[in-house]
Amino acid sequence: MDRLHDLSLTAQVDTLAAGELDPRELAEHYLGRIARLADLGAFAEVNPDAARARADALTRTAPAGTLWGVPHADKDLVARAGVPTRYGSRARAHLVPTASDPLALALDDAGVVTLGKTSTSEFGLTGFTEPLIHAPARDPWRLTAGAGGSSGGAAVAVAAGLLPAAVGSDGGGSIRIPSATVGVVGLKPSRGRLPIGSGFDSPDGLSVTGPIARSAEDAGLLLDALVDLAPFRYATAAPGSGPFADAARRPPGALRVGITTVSPWDDDEDIVLEADARIAFGTAAAWLSDAGHAVTDADWHPSGYASLFHVLWRASAARIPLSDDDMTLVEPLTAWLVREGRRLPALDLLSGLSSARAFERRTIADFAAFDAVLTPALAQRPQPVGAYAGHSPERTFAMQVEYAPYSSFVNVAGLPALTLPVTRDATGHPVSVQLVGRPGGEATLLSLAAQLEDRRGPLPHPPVWDA
């Protein structure tokens, strides 16, 4: 039999349900790997005793729930009663919540065995996961490089075989940036797709919950589980479970695919698409054309984006409940974003929100001719650990945009998007592309992604996989 972490999420779910594997055995396997590979910085907290007790309790019951017995870890932005939840911040170093967030409770109902907390940037505000409160999350392919963020720990855990899949959150690329960095599949659902982490939870509508997995099929299975979570569904939720995993198992048919290397930051920042990213983009476009899709230039010319996103991101930081004492403990970029956000006049905020909705309408209209739009996932290779340290907040923000200029606009537009690895650079590191869908178009993205995976063939695992 394969090593347990060699099995896909889908295979683990099926094996658990068939009684060929019990939750305790699977939890022990992953706990061992997490301990051996602690230097990757994937986990902010590990709770082996609680995980074993949960696994033993499940073993004494009949399988129930979409994810019964599956090892899981909360992103360290999700409160779980009795478990330190630090939000990647020294300002929350000693916080132990007395109540769990709805996502944690719903995933418990789905049957998961929670092993701990995956690491995140401070309050999830940055596209790199190097918080001062603990060690950075490292790219398992190149340990001197960072993993991206803010769901960096979750992406590392999946890429390194510390979890079969993971749930992340994405407010400006926080699922897709680390997934593309370390070479796994990251899916940001449409705004309103999920009952929890829907994007309707805040005025800007940016942040949604979504899956990180090693394949399109596994991402579809985890999305099915997230759509099914209690207590309610939005109108865009698919009825029942299973359709998204099924979408990754069937051919997409002949579709219209737009392609563009344009980013909405091009007029305001120094965006340079590196050769490896350009090769991956061109390769994916050629494969889609070879598969029979009508692949044409999206002819996209966005404008006015940078100013509205600066307003939205500062406003999102302003909502973080930080006292004056807390502000002495947070990182410089966090302090800058919070202070700038709190200084925003109400008229500027309302104008920014209005501009965001106008951008959403324009982007949906611009992409309306296509079933999906292909873009690069990242503009640059993974950055060294510490690359963002020592710069002014303004420059740190600009550097993140230069690294991942194709991410945040999807959140503003409320569209679904998926990143997946398609090629490898000269060192063997995966290089990813992004597919952006129509509102509610996750099934199409998963089907196209699976088709690209079939054309690409299996990717090797990073060296740490065999640890």
pLDDT in tens, the chain (467 residues): 479 999 999 999 999 999 999 999 999 999 999 999 999 999 999 999 999 999 999 999 888 889 999 999 999 999 999 999 999 999 999 999 999 999 999 999 999 999 999 999 999 999 999 999 999 999 999 999 999 999 999 999 999 999 999 999 999 999 999 999 999 999 999 998 988 888 888 889 999 999 999 999 999 999 999 988 866 555 455 544 458 999 999 999 999 999 999 999 999 999 999 999 999 999 999 999 999 999 999 999 999 999 999 999 999 999 999 999 999 999 999 999 999 999 999 999 999 999 999 999 999 999 999 999 999 999 999 999 999 999 999 999 999 999 999 999 999 999 999 999 999 999 999 999 999 999 999 999 999 999 999 999 999 999 999 99
* Nearest Cα residue to 266 out of 301, 317, 291: 301
122 vs 90, 128, 309, 431, CA distance in Å? 9, 10, 19, 26
CATH number of the domain residue 189 falls in: 3.90.1300.10
- Phi, psi for residue 250 in degrees, rounded to 5: -125, 150
What lies within 8 Å, CB to CB, of 345 at 6+ separation is none
Q: Is 351 in contact with 310 (CB distance < 8 Å)?
A: no
* Number of domains observed in the structure of the chain: 1
Q: Is 116 in contact with 157 (CB distance < 8 Å)?
A: no
Residues annotated catalytic, as ranges = 75, 150, 174
Structural tokens at position 141: 């392919």
| pLDDT confidence of residue 203 | 83
| pLDDT confidence of residue 1 | 47
**Domain range holding 227?**
4-466
Radius of gyration of the chain (CA): 20
Single-letter residue type at 4: L
